[in-house]
Structure 1
Amino acid sequence: MPVRSSYDYAVIRVVPRVEREEFVNVGVLVSCPQAKLLVAGIELDPRRLLALDPDVDIDAVRLHLQAIEKICAGGVDSGPIGQLPPRARFHWLTAKRSSIIQLSPVHTGRCLQADAIVEHLLRRMVRVAAPRD
């Protein structure tokens, strides 16, 4: 019988002009200690971001988002934060900040397949639904 796992997640947002508080959801950060999972699923759509701010530096945004992925993966190339235990990395990444990359409040869920939760959350929180006929 499959066992339900609890997980925490936050939506990764790009806020190109912090003073306007407008943002685009670009990914999700998921922590599931039972499955030893800490992962960021990121899907940046530059067109959506440029609609909010035509002057946003897309390359800089990509570099910052890649840093989140590196910290999640841990290891030698992930810097000092990437050397922390996975749960500490999750809390560091979800700490409140007022920069171009921000994360939503942390939410909790339960799932039967932890490896499928990132795809589920990307579909619900990040991707734009296709228009209905």
Structure 2
Amino acid sequence: MQEFKLYEYAVIRVLPKVEREEFLNVGLILFSKKENYIKTRYFLNKEKLKHFFSQEVLEDLECHLKSFINIANGEKSSGNISQLEIPERFRWLNAVRSSCIQTSRPHAGLSKDLDKTFERLFEELVN
């Protein structure tokens, strides 16, 4: 019998105006310490976001979001943070920020299949 795996996830958000605290969900980070698992993905709905950001800012946002992916994946080109252990990378990625890219507080859950759970959460919260 397959056992449940404990995981945490955080939603990646962009804030057109940080001071207004309004946001759009653009990505997801899912992490399981026991399974040594971390997965991150983002989706920028550029048609929607062009009403809030200039093309130049959208390109910058995408560049910064790609760094989330690279850090989660442990890409050496992303510096020292990407070389930390997976739990430390997750904590760094969802640290409180006052920038136009932020994450939700982490939420916990149980899953028999972390990849399927990631896909379900991404569909529900981002797409």
User: TM-score range with shorter-chain normalisation?
Assistant: over 0.9
- Structure 2 Cα separation of the partners of residues 81 and 20 of structure 1: 30
Stretches of structure 1 lacking an aligned partner (at least 5 in a row): 128-133
Cα offsets for 1:73-130 (capped at 9, x unmatched)? 0032221100111100100111101101100011001101012221111111011xxx
SS at match of 2:10: strand
Stretches of structure 2 lacking an aligned partner (at least 5 in a row): none
5 Å-filtered alignment, 1:58-73, equals 58-73=58-73
Q: Shift of residue 33 of structure 1?
A: 1.8
Q: Shift of residue 55 of structure 1?
A: 2.9
Query: Is the 8 Å Cα contact of residues 8 and 107 (structure 2) preserved in structure 1?
Result: yes
- Structure 2 Cα separation of the partners of residues 98 and 49 of structure 1: 19
Q: Shift of residue 6 of structure 1?
A: 0.6
Cα offsets for 1:30-83 (capped at 9, x unmatched)? 1012222111121111122223x1436110000000000000000322211001
- Structure 1 Cα separation of the partners of residues 86 and 95 of structure 2: 14
- Structure 1 Cα separation of the partners of residues 22 and 38 of structure 2: 27
5 Å-filtered alignment, 1:11-26, equals 11-26=11-26
Cα RMSD (Å) of the superposition?
Answer: 1.3
* Aligned residue type for 1:21: E
Query: Is the 8 Å Cα contact of residues 41 and 118 (structure 1) preserved in structure 2?
Result: no
Matched, 1:94 2:86: no
Matched, 1:75 2:75: yes
* Aligned residue type for 2:77: D
State percent identity of aligned pairs.
Answer: 37
Match of 1:55 in 2: 54
Which sits farther off after the overlay, 66-75 or 40-49?
A: 40-49
SS at match of 1:35: coil
* Aligned residue type for 1:55: S
- Structure 1 Cα separation of the partners of residues 3 and 107 of structure 2: 20
Q: Normalising to structure 1: TM-score of the pair?
A: 0.89
- Structure 2 Cα separation of the partners of residues 42 and 28 of structure 1: 6
* Structure 1 segments of 4+ aligned residues over 3 angstroms from their partners: none
- Structure 1 Cα separation of the partners of residues 74 and 53 of structure 2: 33
